[in-house]
Amino acid sequence: MISKNEDNFTDNVQDERKYYESDEDIQPLKVGDMIQNRFLISQKIGEGSFGSVFKVLDRNNNNAAWAMKVEADDDENSLLEREIKVLIELRKQQGFPQIKFYGQERGYTYCIMTMLGKNLEQIFRKLGGVMNMATVIRLAIQLNR
């Protein structure tokens, strides 16, 4: 399991996951659920083949808003765990989300991080499903900062 405290970043990942007999044992996360008795899931932001992203409110910090990325904890080679390790390495670089809290609960690996604005899917939809070269270049510049 990955350390849960943002002040205890480490490359040492210990496998303390609770394995579930089947995916049916894992209940989907939904608006209104609490994570670690601290973060209230307030909105589903997006979903992909590897997991979901939610907006969460930090009950210990005046309901500060964060993004929470989750994936089912049923894979030995968790992409989210690898992403967390990369974000830890990049934590002092601009343009990358800052991790607040991460760990495992209820059959999910989760990462709570700063929200950086609209995601690419939202931008793509707003533009009617087409991005011209100028938009692609502006996005590339933003990603490179």
* Binding-site annotation: residue ranges for ATP: 69
CA–CA distance, 45 with 110 (Å, rounded to integer)? 15
DSSP conformation letters of 2-36: ---BTT---S-----PPP-SSGGGSPPP-TT-EET
Radius of gyration of the chain (CA): 16
Q: Using the CB atoms, write b or e for 14-25: b if 16+ within 10 Å.
A: eeebeeeeeeee
Which one-letter DSSP state was computed for residue 97? P
Q: For residue 59, how many C-alpha atoms fall within 13 Å in the half-sphere facing its CB?
A: 11
Binding residues: 69
Answer yes or no: are the C-beta atoms of 34 and 40 closer than 8 Å: yes
